[in-house]
Amino acid sequence: MAATAGKRDYSLTGPEGKRAEEKGLVAADWYQTPIPRPQMKELMKRKNGPAIRDTIIWFGGLIILGYLGYLSWGTWWAVPAFLAYGILYATPADSRWHECGHGTAFKTPWMNEVIYQIASFMMLRSATPWRWSHTRHHTDTFIVGRDPEILTERPPVWKVLIMEVVHLYGGPKEIKRFFLHAFGKVDNTENEYIPQSERRKTYWEARIYLLILAALVATCVLTGSFLPAMYLFLPSFYGSIIVILYAMTQHLGLYEDVLDHRLNTRTMYLNPVLRFLYWNMNYHIEHHMYPMVPYHQLPKLHEAMKHDCPKPMPGLFSALKEVYVALRKQRHDPAYVIVKPLPATANPYYWGVSNVPDPKWHTS
């Protein structure tokens, strides 16, 4: 599948979405590594135990770090204390938002919904719109004009990536949407994927979010301190560094407009701490290929699929290095992509609308 050179319109309201539909890339059949049905049924079993354990660890850690921040407030020791608090606040909130949005973290549905709503607010994401945004992301992964969660276009917009280190691009945009939703409206992008039946829920969620934020502002004013905001709201900004680093490794530098997640998604190995923060989403090819497999089963799914997938990146920094090199090249050559060699045991790449690879591909 040839990559498209030159600047493209990545909006959901531009001409690229129509072109993708004409090419047969919309809501299409994607390649899946064949896995025996009995094995897949076992992998898809949901449990409450792992997610309950991890949630207790997460909130317990926030209480401990929050208390250390309180004790050190007014000293330089508050800087590392709240940096650690912010990272533990934002990074798991992002991954818990994600997995609970799929409804697979817990076996009990209401548990998924409770954590999803809490994590959505912590990340300043409108819960219902983002549920539908992420559904579109999985249906049309990295399809230009269809996927609302493409982190940056080609050539890359470095300003957006740098601003997202402290959530200064997406954060203000989401707050603006809160106000828009509170007045019973959605923006043009959201209008493309939020069903009419979900709009009323969207509006009431925004009103509740704004009431909470108003109460937080009032508390800061009454106490004469912004310390309360250091525990709620501000951590989604000052603690987001790991969130953006994880996000950059998922799809950037890889193919657009193909129907094989092995071509547009990246898996990497992480140590146990980083895997806990990310809830095993480092197995990202596996997750996209089989999104209903719970996070705690992804290592087993990886073992079942690795004979059919590219070799994973050995760590976070090696993945980021690969992304950085690709983005630098795309600045001058938007058609540049990385295509990793498959093992001899793998099925050939499935390009979707064409099985002819781009002559500009780069084999990593």
User: CB of 362 within 8 A of CB of 8?
Assistant: no
Report pLDDT for 3: 45
Q: What percent of the chain has pLDDT over 70?
A: 95
Which DSSP letter does residue 313 get?
A: B
Mean pLDDT of 52-79: 98
**Phi, psi (degrees; rounded to nearest 5) at 270:** -135, 160
Q: What percent of the chain has pLDDT over 90?
A: 94
Confidence of residue 1 (pLDDT cuts 50, 70, 90): very low
What pLDDT score does 356 carry? 44
Mean pLDDT of the chain: 95
The mean pLDDT of 186-197, rounded to a whole number, is 97
DSSP state of 337: E
pLDDT of residue 359: 39
Q: Distance (Å, rounded) from C-alpha 344 to C-alpha 69? A: 53
Residue 7 has a pLDDT of 83
- CB-based contacts of 231, cutoff 8 Å, min separation 6: 66, 69, 85
Q: Which two tokens stand for residue 15?
A: 């001409």
**pLDDT tens track for 86-131:** 999 999 999 999 999 999 999 999 999 999 999 999 999 999 999 9
The pLDDT value given to residue 354: 54
- Read off the pLDDT of each residue in 152-167 and give the average, rounded to a whole number: 96
- pLDDT at residue 352, as a whole number: 83
The pTM assigned to this predicted structure is 0.94
Least confidently predicted of 211-220, 227-236, 336-345, 351-360: 351-360
Q: Which two tokens stand for residue 312?
A: 């994973």
Above 60 in pLDDT, residue 363?
A: no
The pLDDT score that the predictor gives to residue 184 is 98
Across 296-310, average pLDDT: 98
CA 50 – CA 63 distance, rounded (Å):
20
Q: What is the distance between the alpha carbons of residues 132 and 195, in angstroms, rounded to a whole number?
A: 8
Confidence of residue 313 (pLDDT cuts 50, 70, 90): very high
- pLDDT at residue number 67: 98
* Whole-number pLDDT of residue 362: 42
Average pLDDT of the residues in 238-265? 98
Query: What span, in angstroms and rounded, lies between the C-alpha atoms of 114 and 308?
Result: 36
**CA-CA distance, 266 to 280, in Å (whole number)?**
13
Residue 2 clears pLDDT 60, i.e. is over it: no
Rounded to 5 degrees, φ, ψ at 107 are -75, -35
pLDDT at 6: 58
Question: Tell me: the pLDDT tens digits for 333-362?
Answer: 999 999 899 999 999 999 987 544 443 444
